[in-house]
Structure 1
């Protein structure tokens, strides 16, 4: 049966990949590319959007350094856009899917399950926690069915150069790869696997608000990632680290993905070696 699906943030890294996948199915996709083209914080505009069956809310201001310099803008944009789309979901009786983020701060235990306390360490993550709470409130007060996905470190072809992996790949042809800190370990999830988790979220019938981690269940340090990319590219660049620790740095994250596997039947299909190879080959082209 054809579904009418609204995707906010459709021109972003995740949005582009998701909309390509949705267009291959029997779906009518309504794309909202960016805030410059459509202001999701203007509820009079949101109310005039076509009626839909599913809303997938990807759009958000997400650059953490900017969230410290302009916190009011981050809170207003991320929270109000979510509130307006939740209202639309309520009126349309549509399923709501929110792409959240890593919300756990410094882990109290590993791997991190969805019940681990949320501990945002910056205004961006705090805004996402507020958006999650709105989803929970709409489930409680109006019976709105929603799914919150908490992706760990997403990567893949086409990601912005400001992210870690593209910045390493851009330095492979130089004499030296220069990075800040070799130690932080992250759980990496390939873009295709995240898209598949969103697609399965559309299909699953679950009452209320359900929260899922999206990760691989393994973690790798920055220096391990560099080593793998150097091997893949056959680079002769030397590795150098400034040994500068970022404000609020978390040294290790590992996602517990048992819940999403049990409820949605999802598990990652692309391992890190294959994902890095695909990302490197795409960048080389």
Structure 2
């Protein structure tokens, strides 16, 4: 039986890879976005997710890709992957970042539960850990950053993601559906690996994100695994690569840039500072794309 998935923000940096992964694995996909996706077999429904009426209408829309199919009646949706958001601060006024991100997520969860859609996967963010968009340098409480960390960010973007996680838990408690919140590390499209030598030359460029990253294709894999893994209830999971996006060992980076931060476990030579242990355990996720497969360290 064909599974039907709605992806919001499927025209974006990460979304287009999530759509590609799902389609290639046999899913029927509908993209909700303000910008059409150039995909011959996936329809984009132009939708303002901050408008509850549009969201309720969109989630009842057929997922077929053309209007001339034999049947264009809507069919049950198996899951929603909600990626759409203002992706960072300093691009919109802070209150707009907060409003758009919070209200779009509320509307998705509200409509999904009222339509009895059994699973929602939400894009949260590593920025919830509070170092990325802090006003000044800010030491975290400890490394590696894990899902039990007492998150306390100060910026409008990360605050919106924290609120979304709380909202997701409330809807899951009320309805019992599966809601998985992904705290996603810095998303790297394959074309961006050409920038890594510059990162190596100036490690401070990626200090605020603690040198974390995730290849778009690995994020897409994690999303598909989440669709295929049922019964976990409410979960928060970091989605990060196994290694840091630096040619320097992790302990060296900590010693120079975060010397006062306690380290709770023995770290591997290049081990990530955003723990991905939980997503491996719950979803069976295994990274497929490491920067070292695409960047020649000897010629950095």
TM-score scaled by length of structure 1: 0.75
- 1:266 aligned onto 2:289: no
Deviation at 1:204, TM superposition (A): 0.4
Question: Per-residue displacement from partner, 1:225-284 (whole Å, max 9, x unpaired)?
Answer: 9xxxxxxxxxxxxxxxxxxx9xxxxxx97121221111111121222211447xxxxxxx
* Equivalent-residue separation in structure 1 for 2:215 and 2:272 (angstroms): 16
* Equivalent residue, structure 2, for 1:63: 88
> Residues 190, 72 of structure 1: CA spacing in aligned structure 2 closer, same or farther, 3 A cutoff?
same
* Equivalent residue, structure 2, for 1:98: 122
* Equivalent-residue separation in structure 1 for 2:245 and 2:196 (angstroms): 15
* Equivalent residue, structure 2, for 1:131: 164
Q: Is the 8 A contact 2:11 2:35 kept in 1?
A: no
- Three-state SS of the structure 2 residue aligned to 1:270 is coil
- 1:47 aligned onto 2:71: no
- Three-state SS of the structure 2 residue aligned to 1:65 is coil
How many residues align? The count is 239
> Residues 81, 191 of structure 1: CA spacing in aligned structure 2 closer, same or farther, 3 A cutoff?
same
Deviation at 1:35, TM superposition (A): 6.9
| Structure 1: runs of 5+ lacking an equivalent | 160-164, 226-244, 246-251, 278-285
State which of 78, 92, 100 in structure 1 corresponds to 2:101: 78
Q: Runs of 4 or more off by more than 4 Å in structure 1?
A: 165-169, 177-180
- 1:199 aligned onto 2:224: yes
> Residues 108, 44 of structure 1: CA spacing in aligned structure 2 closer, same or farther, 3 A cutoff?
same
TM-score scaled by length of structure 2: 0.71
Q: Is the 8 A contact 2:33 2:48 kept in 1?
A: no
Q: Once superposed, what is the RMSD of the aligned Cα atoms? A: 2.8
* Equivalent-residue separation in structure 2 for 1:71 and 1:166 (angstroms): 31
* Equivalent-residue separation in structure 1 for 2:289 and 2:202 (angstroms): 26
